[in-house]
Structure 1
Amino acid sequence: MLEEIESSAHSSGVISMDNATRYLRPTGIDPIMGKVLNWLPKLGISIAGSRLLAVRGRKSGQWRTTMVNVLTAADGTRYLVAPRGHTQWVRNLRAAGEGELRLGRRTEHFTATELADADRVPLLRLYLEKWGWEVGRFFDGITKDATDAELAAVAPGFPVFRLA
């Protein structure tokens, strides 16, 4: 039975079902839309605060880019949340500890600190309040209205970085 679940999960883009290594690979039209949407920040167009994240690859050293939503908390602190889990950009950011946010010709350098699982709960709720319409499908039924316990249970599967 577990083999069937894992086989089904792998074919649907789920690389790992374990929260500590959770990763949802783009499937279907997602890769095409990703390429199209990555052009918007390059052109200086931001949708709901989106930016082009640039991080050096942990093996190649080459710049890798992807569109992200930058979350700004009430105190002005900014965060990156990984709705697809422990993706390549997450692994690269962990290794590099820094990156760039780009919008058009503007480039902003930042350093990143990954938050502990327990510190992610209020930020995951805030992220879902702001972008649940866009990324809710990656949260497996968890919404902004989830209890703290429910968010704490899934927090290991959603890396969050504080930007400075």
Structure 2
Amino acid sequence: MSTHVQKPGWFTVNVLNRLVAWLTGRGLSVWGSRVLAVRGRRSGQWRTTPVNLLIVDGERYLVAPRGHVQWTHNMRAAGGGELRLGRSVEAFTATEVADDDKPPLLRAYLGRWKAEVGVFFKGVGPASSDDELRRIAPDHPVFRITVRS
């Protein structure tokens, strides 16, 4: 497994993420944003971060543009979490997508959010070949999420 991680800078952590989380917490989705809540793999405490919810062919996905970050490790351990938008909370289970199955999902993700996250994808974009997308796939975890009923 890849260990690729691109840590956010001070401005992202202290301004952008907080602003998006604040707006999303009040029910205003910014380009599909949600607040992801996942139990910490060691502490058991809820950990939150803003994410972009990707929908492809009616299926829902979370993509980690910055790589194997804390929420991805926690998601693997917990097997799911919650997506929050305002007062709406959806509990879900998560299944990690295999690298060979990621190219169309990464293409769709980059097609929607390249301006925001493209810098984390090593020059690969929505018009890139499947081979180029497959090359970077190990660096970007993708989870299919299924809402619990």
- For the aligned pair, the TM-score class normalised by the smaller chain equals over 0.9
C-alpha distance in structure 1 between counterparts of 2:13 and 2:59, whole Å: 30
Q: Deviations over 1:79-130 (max 9, x none)?
A: 0000000000000000000100000100000000001110111100010001
- What's the counterpart of residue 126 of structure 1? 108
Pick one of 18, 37, 52 that aligns with 2:20: 37
The share of aligned pairs that are identical, in percent, is 55
Q: Separation in 2 of the partners of 1:27 and 1:151?
A: 25
Normalising to structure 1: TM-score of the pair?
0.86
Aligned-CA RMSD value = 1.0
**Residue 9 (structure 1) aligns with:** none
Distance in 1, matches of 2:53 and 2:13, equals 21
Distance 2:24 2:30 in 1: 8
Q: Once the two structures are superposed, what CA deviation does each residue of 1:18-39 show, in whole Å capped at 9, x if it has no partner?
A: x711111111411112122211
Partner of 1:72: 55
2:72 alignment counterpart: 90
Partner residue in 1 for 2:33? 50
Runs of 5+ consecutive residues of structure 1 not aligned to the other structure: 1-18
**TM-score normalised to structure 2 length:** 0.94
> Secondary structure of the equivalent of 1:29?
helix
1:26 aligns with 2:8: yes
Please name the residue that 1:15 is paired with: none
Runs ≥4 in structure 1, deviation > 6 angstroms?
none
State the AA in 1 paired with 2:137: A
Q: Is the 8 A contact 2:20 2:30 kept in 1?
A: no
**How many equivalent pairs are there?**
145
Separation in 1, partners of 2:38, 2:129:
33
Does 2:133 match 1:151?
yes
Paired AA for residue 51 in structure 1: R
Q: Higher mean Cα deviation, 88-97 or 37-46?
A: 37-46
